[in-house]
Amino acid sequence: MTRFMMYMTFISLLFFGIVGCSEGNSTNSTSDNDSEGGEDVENQEDVSLKLFTGKVETVDLMDELIADFESANPNIQVEQEYANDASNVMKVKFASGDVPDITTVITQDYMDQDRYIDLSDESYWDRILPSIKELNTDIKTGNTFSVATNVTMAGIFYNKEIFAELGLEEAQTWDEFVSNLETIKEEKPDVTPLFLPGKEVWSLGHLVEFMAHGEIKQELGISDSRKAFIENEKEKLGFSDPEGPMAIFAERLMELQDKGLINEDALTASYDNQKDAFVTGNAAMISQGMWVMGELLDIDPEVAGRIGFSPYPPLKEGSKPVVLSAEDSKYAITSASEHPEEAKKFLEFLMKDENVKKYSEAIKSPPSFTDVDADWGPIKDETNAVLESAVNIQFTDWPSGFSGDDNGRMVQELLAGKYDGSDLTEFAQEYAETWNKAWESTQ
């Protein structure tokens, strides 16, 4: 009996010792795997997320960030998909049911259709500039359906060496802008005064968004102009008005073409052609945003000392120069996602200070986070001066059926001679009709 009791005591001690070691090892494993705020990955199901983006300049960088995220979260895989005409592709995805979990395509009518989940209660908002939070806030519901990692600006990049050599100053009126271009053409016939990459329709769409729409935005202000675009307040937008922003824009652009102040291959030149022409000094001015800075510096780091930055000239007398100052690199989680918590976790990863810093320095765009100190670009002083002197405008809230790319295609047709150059009200009327049709299709 005594031997039996001793045997049973030994077995009990051995059993509990094994269990104790097992529990200790499990605790340590969970602690290691919780470093990113998740549960023990061994107990989690594998999840695949789809990220759909239209930002060509960040595809490689995002792949790096995705690899870092997957390394820290081995149960979550993120597949990035890029499309050149992302807005229209996204429309097809919603119609077909092939909806990504996370997207950079965010429009008002998709908000109205409850296509995105509400991110209003996420913890990162306390770290983001109030102005950027306002621009990410839906004016109809007061909810925030998207979040932006960065602030971006867009305007006229110019060659400071050419300006200094010819004694030119940044234009404050349209006449001054044209005069600068004419001087460059006359004094430097081998240099393109203003280089347009018309093959890339988004770049031509930006001319509408920042110059034509810029007249509306500065007149109404940020909040009222957002409301006018979102609710299609036709009288305030004045798209079909013979003396409105679209007709004036068409006249101004055709003036530049008729005077030979833009490149002859404006319809076929690519974004890469534009960057190369500017870096090599073969183009004196380009219309672009801060997203181009990293790529210009990759081509030639020494170009940093030659880059000047100025606002877009006003199209009509009495208006002021404008500069885009808006949210950049926006992300939303679709309501169709089957894995919203994992998608939120990926966004939280992107919002970590070290990742925002890396992203900002790569794309040369200032962070929207107040706690991130990034060396984002060599022309910070120039951009800050422009922000103080020019009217700051936001991106346009497009109806999903008429994107910035669609606008660019209309500008392509304008440059190709579709409209009568002596009466460009036809362009304005067609623009208004196309906009109204797209807006009405969302109702």
Question: Over 356-388, what HEC string results?
Answer: HHHHHHHHCCCECECCCCCCCCCCHHHHHHHHH
Tell me what percent of the residues of the chain surpass a pLDDT of 70.
90
Q: pLDDT tens across 203-242, in order?
A: 999 999 999 999 999 999 988 999 999 999 999 999 999 9
Q: How far apart are CA 420 and CA 441, in angstroms?
A: 29
Length, in residues, of the chain: 443
Q: Give the pLDDT band (50/70/90) at residue 43.
A: low
For the four alpha carbons of 300, 324, 195 and 180, in that order, the dihedral sign comes to negative
Q: pLDDT tens across 45-74, in order?
A: 899 999 999 988 899 999 999 999 999 999
Q: pLDDT tens across 254-291, in order?
A: 999 999 999 999 999 999 999 999 999 999 999 999 88
Q: What is the mean pLDDT of residues 124-130?
A: 94
Q: pLDDT tens across 328-374, in order?
A: 999 999 999 999 999 999 999 999 999 999 999 998 889 999 999 99
Which pLDDT value is given to residue 42?
Answer: 53
Q: What is the mean pLDDT of residues 300-310?
A: 95
Q: What is the mean pLDDT of residues 378-382?
A: 88
Residue 301 token pair: 């780091």
User: Residues 419, 422, 427, 429: what is their CA dihedral angle, to the nearest 10 degrees?
Assistant: -130
Count Cβ atoms below 10 Å from residue 333 Cβ, excluding itself.
26
Which pLDDT value is given to residue 294?
Answer: 87
Mean pLDDT computed over every residue of the chain: 89
- Strands 76-82, 47-53: pairing kind: parallel
> Quick check: do 46-150+328-363 and 152-326+380-441 share a fold?
yes
Type of residue found at 145: F
Which pLDDT value is given to residue 45?
Answer: 87
Q: How far apart are CA 69 and CA 422, in angstroms?
A: 57
Domain parsing of the chain, residue ranges: 46-150+328-363, 152-326+380-441
Which pLDDT value is given to residue 401?
Answer: 81
Q: Give the pLDDT band (50/70/90) at residue 44.
A: confident
What would the DSSP string read from start to end of 57-89?
Answer: GGHHHHHHHHHHHHHH-TTEEEEEEE-TTHHHH
Reference 87, options 54, 112, 51; nearest CA is 54
pLDDT at 17 over 90: no
Asked if 196 and 414 touch (Cβ cutoff 8 Å), the reply is no
User: Residues 41, 45, 50, 51: what is their CA dihedral angle, to the nearest 10 degrees?
Assistant: -20
Asked if 226 and 394 touch (Cβ cutoff 8 Å), the reply is yes
Alpha-carbon distance values, 412 to 174, 359, 415, 420 (Å): 22, 32, 5, 14
Q: How far apart are CA 142 and CA 137, in angstroms?
A: 6
Alpha-carbon distance values, 304 to 308, 309, 377 (Å): 9, 11, 9
Tell me what percent of the residues of the chain surpass a pLDDT of 90.
76
Which pLDDT value is given to residue 16?
Answer: 42
Q: Give the pLDDT band (50/70/90) at residue 79.
A: very high
Asked if 144 and 137 touch (Cβ cutoff 8 Å), the reply is yes
pLDDT at 95 over 70: yes
**CATH of the domain spanning 152-326+380-441:** 3.40.190.10
What topology does CATH give the domain 46-150+328-363?
A: D-Maltodextrin-Binding Protein; domain 2 (3.40.190)
